[in-house]
Amino acid sequence: MVTVTNYIPIIDKMPDKTIIHIKVENPTDHQMPSPTSNKSDFAWVKCSEADAHRRLLIKEHSLEVGLKYCEKLVDTIEGIFTKITNHSKQSAENTWPLEDRNDWIAQCRSIVSDHKAFQVFVGVAGATGSGKTSILNALLGFQELLPTNNEEASTAVQCKVSFNHDERTEYAFRCHVTFQSKETLTARLKRFFADIMQRDEFQEQHDGSIENEDALRDIERALRPTAEMISILFNLQEDQAKNLELEGVLNSNPEVLNLLGTVKEINCSEAADISRLMKPYMDSTIGDHSVSGARFAMWPIIEKVELFIKSDILRNGVVLVDLPGLGDAVQSRESVAEGAFEQLTATLIVAQATRAADNSTAVNLMSRNHEMAMMLNGKFHKRSFCVCLSQIDLIDRRAALRKPDAKANDHLRQLLTEEEAEKSKLKEKGREKSMKKKTRVKLKQSRKRITKQKLDSATMATTKAKLKAAEKDTLLELAKISKEITNAKSRLVKLESEITFACIQARNRFVRERIKSDFQKRQARLIEKFPGMRKTYDGEVSVCPTSSAAFWKCKCALARTPGFPTESYTGIPGLAAWVRGATMQKREEHVDDFLSRLQAQYNTILLWSEDKQELKDTSITKESFEKDILAGNLKQMEQELAVYWSSLKAEVDKRNPLNGKQDLILSKCPQMCVDAVRGWAYKKPEDRASDKVHYCTYQANLSRSGGKFVSKSKETFHEFNWMEDISHLLFNTIVADWNQSLNHDIPSLADAAWLELDTIWDRFMANLNENIHRVEPRLLTELANQKLNLEVLKTNAKLRVQHALKRISQNATQFHPKVVSKIQSEWQNKFEEALEITGSGAYMARQQLLLDFAQENSKRIFRTVYKDLKRQLQKGFDQLPRELADISHYAVKGLQRYLRLILDKVLGSPEFAVKSAALAEEKLRLKESVISALGEWTAEWRSPSLDGYVNDKQIDSIPEEYRHARTELEIMEADNDYLDSDSDSNSVSDTDDNDPDLKAILSGEVDEEMVMDMGT
């Protein structure tokens, strides 16, 4: 391979023009690695045997490298070709045909833009007060980025957090705030006024009974969120809003109307600034949001907040979605959460550890609709679903130690015994220290008295020596006791932490088993019909216990939460590892696809940049080759692909999960629907002994057209959603087949498709070689040299087929959520008719009306819904032929363009002379720039530098064994205890001789052995 680095213009003078020929010299000391078409040299190809985390790390880094050089080369080629074209369009065309050049540039730009649009959504959901936002802040690495001080408001707003690719300092933190549309706000206000009317009517009939009082409270509770919103945004109380009615309320604050449907952008250089500026849009902070200077809180009309920051967990397209709280009473918020589920690759449910451990609380971590959506989308397994137990640091040690498992834990019993022993020892040593201090005081006093007495010098000296020796002994004993006290305190701190850790771990195990048991029951329906899926749906569930409070304390070296000596014990690193791991499959699929596309771009520009090696004495031309050899072979290949695409589409259609399901649905669902409608009148429809719901609760469900309504009675929340109940009758019948077909069987057709593509491709290459051999055998050498590069085009075609098949299941995620609204539209008129029934006996009459409608129309409704769902699904299936045809076009055009470049290399260009020195200089600069960039690209693909890149291989869970790590505070306390601040360092100075040995003992500079030497 020739590396072009030196171009020497040789100018020949002719009568009417100057012709410049280019002489190419091969350098002998070129330092940059030569570009290579040998794909196996690249690290992202050779890493296939590495563990999954390192493999993906290398691939994702290599992808960033390829994108960087793609953009660099596009800028270079466009800039220089513009100048070449200004000199001579024909010369530019001969250098690289415009159509092929523009196609290469367009492909590069498409790769870059498609990569920037790539996102892997991980939803973070949880009940209000679960600590969800605190967990998010810990994962992101910013303690107070998202507001956590107002649970009602922060729950209301969906927040998406993505990686910020903007390198400008002033745009280090970006935020986009999207306001609700006027239509959304109007619909909410209409519901509010309808509920007020219902409440007022009921109040007139209220007889003071407890049941009626509970029903009235339900209505008031349903009214409260919107009433608060009206008060916050429009500064109106309920009676004022009633008088103004809908339009009057909307027009009472024009500033709010001006904000509806708009997007506000905020850019900052510091995390504290972006947190402060976006806070008013996410919590109840009052701010100036208007031209007039009116101040009010904005969160009630915020639809979503998109935040862009630099955080390791967000790299490579990962997006964390802070979903509104599960079980939210406001339907518009719930719809925001439900609408996001279909986009999620993984779901993280946050639940307080204390609540999850309560035996009286059912493990109900998500809405039934969310659970069904995950099953239909093939995401209801441990790789896509995780329960995050929050606030595990909040534990009642006494209560934990009273539990049977704690009493049966031998290790824990041993720790408690050691703790009691250390406490006893500490008390005993404290008493000893107190006694020694008293002895020392007496000795000091004795020395002072001796000094004042009139004794002969010999007696004085002997007595003082004895007293001094006794005081030295006492000080040494005090030092020993102080050290023992310090050790006992340190041991108690460690024991307290270890006991707390053991209690937390015991609770974690208990909760994990409860969640696992519940998960197994829910997952069972997916494997009853397909036992072969047990490997995927194995009943296991990912549970990550965490403490964000302990995590941030670990960042402070001074003091930590007991039981959490290092960050790994807080569970946050393990949770981050789960998030990154849950996104790995989709990220690797993306990176494999884009590296293959980049490889094709690399090969093309590399081939174009190589020196021409023209064949001598050949009669074949590019035109004759394309017309007589290539065109026929490409047409045959396209025809063979079309035939196979037809058979592939037939195989896909066979796997439609709704095929032949109509009879099953119509035989089971109508009667179940009648039973469900009958159950609407009861608090627990499945319990025949259940109490009936109150008249007002029933009416609230009617007024919401069977949509979501949350009732509260005796601190217990009860969620009603009639239309979801009916839709689940259908889904329960088809969910196993739907999941199996769309998420497993159809995508697996890619394996057979790849084999068929190999066959068609090999046949094309064999025919091409045969035809070339007949016309110009010398071309076969270059064709053989380019075989691996041509294979890249085939790989890209294979990957496109795989994506097309997966897109069928991805598109299906948009269809099943529409079933609820379709069923609701069928029931809408009957709900309105039921609301018109008033007066005595209205409750029973309404029930009977709905029951009669179900008995007479449920079969028709299910048939309609089934046909509509099948039509929507088939519509998605029918997009496949067009996508497959595009793949044929892509493969054929890619082959055509690459083979054309090969011909340019070996057959040459019709124009070999250029017309000016300036043009020659531009061509020289183009060649040098391209080859230099290719050399750098090659070097980085061969030996990537992974410094600064995120390796997802982190700790998977909280360590099983406790390993204590001393804090700075413990070290400081130990030092202080050892020095013993109560010791009087000036005590010796009271004596006449100011004994330096004693001062040394007091200062801690002399050990016991040295003291003995002094005494001797």
d(C-alpha 590, C-alpha 610), whole Å: 30
- pLDDT surpasses 80 at 283: no
Residues 158, 304: contact at Cβ < 8 Å? yes
- pLDDT surpasses 90 at 650: yes
Query: How does pLDDT run across 723-771, given as a tens digit for each residue?
Result: 999 999 999 999 989 999 999 999 999 999 999 999 999 999 999 999 9
> What per-residue confidence (pLDDT) applies to 696?
85
- Residue count of the chain: 1016
d(C-alpha 181, C-alpha 262), whole Å: 8
d(C-alpha 508, C-alpha 363), whole Å: 14
980: left (phi over 0), alpha (psi -120 to 50) or beta: left
What residues contact 859, with CB distance under 8 A and at least 6 apart?
Answer: 666, 670
235: left (phi over 0), alpha (psi -120 to 50) or beta: left
Query: How does pLDDT run across 899-925, given as a tens digit for each residue?
Result: 999 988 887 665 545 456 788 888 889
Q: What is the percentage of the chain residues whose pLDDT exceeds 90? A: 45
- Measured N-to-C along each axis, helices 746-775 and 631-654 cross at an angle, to the nearest 10 degrees, of 170
**Which spans in 610-721 are helix H?**
622-625, 631-654, 662-679, 695-703
Tokens of 740: 């199996």
- pLDDT surpasses 80 at 997: no
Mean pLDDT of 182-199: 88
- pLDDT surpasses 90 at 208: no
> What per-residue confidence (pLDDT) applies to 334?
53
The half-sphere exposure of 124 on its side-chain side, counting CA atoms within 13 A, is: 31
Q: Which of 767, 772, 775 is nearest to 783 (CA)?
A: 772
**Identity at 392, one-letter amino acid code:** I
Q: Which of 657, 667, 671 is nearest to 742 (CA)?
A: 657
- pLDDT surpasses 70 at 191: yes
Q: Which residue has the tokens 């509104």?
A: 324
Confidence of residue 199 (pLDDT cuts 50, 70, 90): confident
> What per-residue confidence (pLDDT) applies to 651?
97
Confidence of residue 294 (pLDDT cuts 50, 70, 90): low
Tokens of 225: 């969120």
User: Which stretch of 344-353, 443-452, 752-761, 779-788 has the lowest confidence by average pLDDT?
Assistant: 443-452
Query: How does pLDDT run across 108-165, given as a tens digit for each residue?
Result: 999 999 999 999 999 998 877 788 999 999 999 999 898 876 544 445 678 899 999 9
d(C-alpha 45, C-alpha 55), whole Å: 9
User: Which stretch of 188-197, 938-947, 992-1001 has the lowest confidence by average pLDDT?
Assistant: 992-1001
- pLDDT surpasses 50 at 588: yes
Residues 500, 397: contact at Cβ < 8 Å? yes
- pLDDT surpasses 50 at 205: yes
Q: Which residues pair with 386 in a beta bridge?
A: 348, 542
d(C-alpha 132, C-alpha 365), whole Å: 13
Residues 608, 807: contact at Cβ < 8 Å? no
Q: What is the percentage of the chain residues whose pLDDT exceeds 70? A: 83
**Identity at 68, one-letter amino acid code:** K
Q: Which of 664, 601, 805, 713 is nearest to 70 (CA)?
A: 601
Mean pLDDT of 266-271: 94
Query: How does pLDDT run across 20-53, given as a tens digit for each residue?
Result: 333 333 333 334 455 655 666 899 999 988 888 8
Confidence of residue 969 (pLDDT cuts 50, 70, 90): low
What residues contact 38, with CB distance under 8 A and at least 6 apart?
Answer: 788
- pLDDT surpasses 50 at 1001: no
- The whole-model pTM stands at 0.82
d(C-alpha 577, C-alpha 955), whole Å: 7
**What DSSP assignment string belongs to 921-952?**
HHHHHHHHHHHHHHHHHHHHHHS---TTPPP-
d(C-alpha 769, C-alpha 575), whole Å: 55
**Identity at 781, one-letter amino acid code:** T
* Burial per residue of 45-76, b for 16 or more beta-carbon CB atoms within 10 angstroms, e otherwise: bebeeeeebebbbbbbbbbbbbbebbebbbeb
Confidence of residue 574 (pLDDT cuts 50, 70, 90): very high
Confidence of residue 3 (pLDDT cuts 50, 70, 90): very low
The half-sphere exposure of 333 on its side-chain side, counting CA atoms within 13 A, is: 27
**What DSSP assignment string belongs to 80-141?**
HHHHHHHH-HHHHHHHS-HHHHHHHHHHHHHHHHHHHH--EEEEEEE-TTSSHHHHHHHHHT
